[in-house]
Structure 1
């Protein structure tokens, strides 16, 4: 194995903290990685990795060597990307993770057009609403809704989605239609949304003019999955808030009723997160541009 490949093997082991996970990620036998690191340490005359029962960590020399490797490999990747992009043929494999509701209802239905436009890009798609460590999990980018957490990742805003407060027709028949925020707190209940990562619940939010008002209601159910959240609302378990694109069909056919439309929830930011790189691979750049195009068409 040549030196550059050995550097890639070493950096991936450090980033994933495991020979086994790095071998799976690189599609190489674990024995190959073990032999590569042994030869690398012999050539450098330094001990690079510390192995424990749970994790592999770099030694002090390993940390210094890792930082040098990252800089060298980033420069090399940038140079190679320049030459590849000269041919203007985006190609290669992309690992992406999409918020499950957005994937199912917006992006996956639009994928045939992307694949037709870029037939040499291979997509490996995961769907979840949890926090993703791009480096640890080998993911190129994620699409997430809501405010961005503090992160070393780069975020690109691709849309601001309008939202609606809704309840099922059966719920409205039982509890009536609130006309004010005070009415909400007089016998109404909500379906609580909990963050999949922190399990923290969020109140209902309303824009009254330019002022944000929060309302906490009793909730018989707390949910952290987007599809289950909608199902609970449709089942009449309480009031909920959604991006408008997600409930347009249900509103048109009368399964859901919009409440307090003059005081909508604040718009919902939608962003793509990816690792900070000197130059994005062309395949990732065109995919992000395509997502911005698709999501920008939503209201």
Structure 2
């Protein structure tokens, strides 16, 4: 295995009595899309801003491309592209003007025209920033992070505020950027986004790493637990709920039963053999449901397992720490 392109060891950052990052460690391999995942306020943005040399640290070590960014952030700045959440430009600057301006900051800048082609911005080159859609602004933000030809790009909360179609289009662009050879650190609070894009990731909660691995490894590592969702016709729903509640009380492979959708759907969760408890019970009762499906485990299940609480991507953003502007 190649040497890590990014190494974070025992990173700690506090703001007065508030501990924003507490003993965070991870390593990123060249060419990866590496996710830093967690709810708003978890410490994600503080971690990557410290990694990029934009914040000081109270403890730990950070190396990017072999350079200690805590001691010498300027030494890596031209090789590290950063797209931070809530970044903005002057309303009247055009896409081409913004890329040309940012390119002038670097000795070996990327060709702005090639970036516009890569990120589907060529048709909007003369459009002013204020007139861009949310998705177009995000694509421009990625382009500005890449204009210095970085080896590593940090993309922070890239798709927050985008509609589902724009979000998925942005995911395809991120994969396209990775295919050019750029290693990407993707900061997100969207579990689906991380599951789709990331080769490996860490889950951070309350400033600490609570899980690490590839999405598949983390999901496969969940102990037991399978869910079968049974949907009944209106006339059969009451009998179906009673039947499956009874199965839960007497079958060792069933842990719990949850009713939803006005009583028409019943989710039965238990061991990997839970399906063998549900289907025979339905057959014996001669009860034919409208639908039976197994539910795929996701990173949301991982989050529940490692934190003990349900993950809510729509939760209100925690207020910034006074005087620090820390957003997560």
Q: TM-score, normalised by structure 2?
A: 0.28
Higher helix share: 1
Q: When the two structures are superposed, what TM-score results if normalisation uses the length of structure 1?
A: 0.30
Instruction: Give the structure, 1 or 2, with the largest relative contact order (CA under 8 Å, sep 6 or more).
Output: 1
